[in-house]
């Protein structure tokens, strides 16, 4: 039996939070504490969290920043491990956290995460040798060694991709992460969109894996847009052209994003 605290970031998450907390409490073992960092919810998020005996804290710092939210959560963590879980992530396997923790028994592995898109069970270790900018970590469901997470902290200068950036920093220290696949997680983010995908890609290209911002790759993305036009897939074409344009702009100046997921108002 190992001990871990859980950090759950919320904003008007009432539609999914009950299932998220139920899945978390069903883990073997359950977390010692559930720390909620809320960004000004106006629905029943906080009453639900309180009813489930969560430790609730208001996000502080003006416009929402993913890294700052996590660092505020980390400041309350006392257990040797910390689980970062989205309020849209529902753990459907009671051994999901234990599977991630088993990976962290390897001294080289500082963090592990669930790959919800791969139903076949398995574990892949990620290091600088096979990191591609998107396979390092995923903070919708990731387990960290607390000491490492607090020592490095998440970079609050970044507008997004704080998890992949954190993974890259781990690899620079010779550490590794673990990707755990299988039917462990149901991801229910209703705000998921092509725009979010583009934001993530541009942020990763600008701050984590600059190879994704090379001229040949931008040209291939634009060509994919042209091919989509020729085949009548106009939504795909618009997506490719928009991504190529934003990557060109990111080569000139660092991109900034305004999160539509959380409030821009500092809770009192």
Question: How confident is the model over 52-101, as pLDDT tens digits?
Answer: 999 999 999 888 889 999 999 999 999 999 999 999 999 999 999 999 99
Q: Look at residue 70 and tell me if it is in a domain.
A: no
Q: Give the separation between CA 56 and CA 6, rounded to whole angstroms.
A: 12
Q: Look at residue 48 and tell me if it is in a domain.
A: no
Give the confidence band of 120 by pLDDT, cuts at 50, 70, 90: very high
Burial of 263 (0-12, 13-18, 19+ CB in 10 A): middle
Q: Look at residue 133 and tell me if it is in a domain.
A: no
Give the confidence band of 260 by pLDDT, cuts at 50, 70, 90: very low
Q: Look at residue 67 and tell me if it is in a domain.
A: no
Q: Give the separation between CA 42 and CA 45, rounded to whole angstroms.
A: 8
Q: Look at residue 84 and tell me if it is in a domain.
A: no
Mean pLDDT of the region 220-235: 92
Cβ within 8 Å of residue 25, ≥6 positions away: 52
Lowest mean pLDDT among 49-53, 79-83, 218-222, 248-252: 248-252
Q: Look at residue 209 and tell me if it is in a domain.
A: yes
Domain that holds residue 243: 194-252
Give residue 131's pLDDT. Answer: 95
Q: Look at residue 222 and tell me if it is in a domain.
A: yes
Q: Look at residue 74 and tell me if it is in a domain.
A: no
Cross-strand pairs, 179: 113, 124
Give the confidence band of 1 by pLDDT, cuts at 50, 70, 90: confident
Domain count, the chain: 1
Cβ within 8 Å of residue 131, ≥6 positions away: 167, 168, 171, 209
Give the confidence band of 213 by pLDDT, cuts at 50, 70, 90: confident
Backbone phi, psi, residue 109, to 5°: -90, 120
Mean pLDDT, the chain, integer: 91
């Amino acid at each position: 039996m190992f001990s871990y605290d859980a950090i759950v970031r919320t904003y008007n998450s009432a539609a999914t939070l009950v299932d998220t907390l139920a899945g978390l409490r069903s883990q073997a073992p359950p977390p010692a504490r559930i720390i909620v960092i809320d960004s000004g919810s106006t629905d029943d998020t906080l009453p639900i969290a309180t009813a489930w005996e969560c430790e609730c804290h208001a996000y502080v710092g003006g416009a929402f920043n993913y890294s700052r939210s996590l660092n505020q959560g980390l400041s309350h963590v006392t257990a040797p491990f910390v689980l970062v879980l989205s309020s849209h992530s529902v753990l459907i396997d009671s051994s999901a956290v234990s599977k991630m923790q088993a990976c962290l028994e390897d001294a080289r592995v500082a963090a592990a995460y669930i790959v919800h898109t791969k139903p076949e069970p398995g574990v892949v270790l990620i290091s600088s040798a096979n990191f591609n900018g998107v396979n390092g970590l995923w903070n919708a469901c990731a387990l960290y060694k607390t000491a490492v997470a607090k020592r490095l902290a998440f970079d609050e200068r970044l507008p997004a991709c704080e998890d992949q950036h954190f993974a890259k920093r781990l690899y620079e220290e010779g550490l590794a992460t673990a990707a755990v696949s299988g039917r462990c997680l149901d991801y229910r983010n209703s705000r998921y969109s092509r725009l979010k995908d583009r934001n993530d890609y541009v942020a990763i290209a600008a701050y984590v894996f600059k190879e994704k911002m090379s001229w040949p790759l931008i040209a291939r993305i634009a060509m994919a847009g042209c091919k989509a036009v020729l085949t009548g897939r106009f939504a795909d074409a618009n997506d490719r052209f928009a991504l190529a344009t934003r990557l060109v702009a990111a080569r000139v100046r660092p991109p900034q994003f305004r999160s539509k997921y959380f409030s821009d108002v500092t809770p009192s």
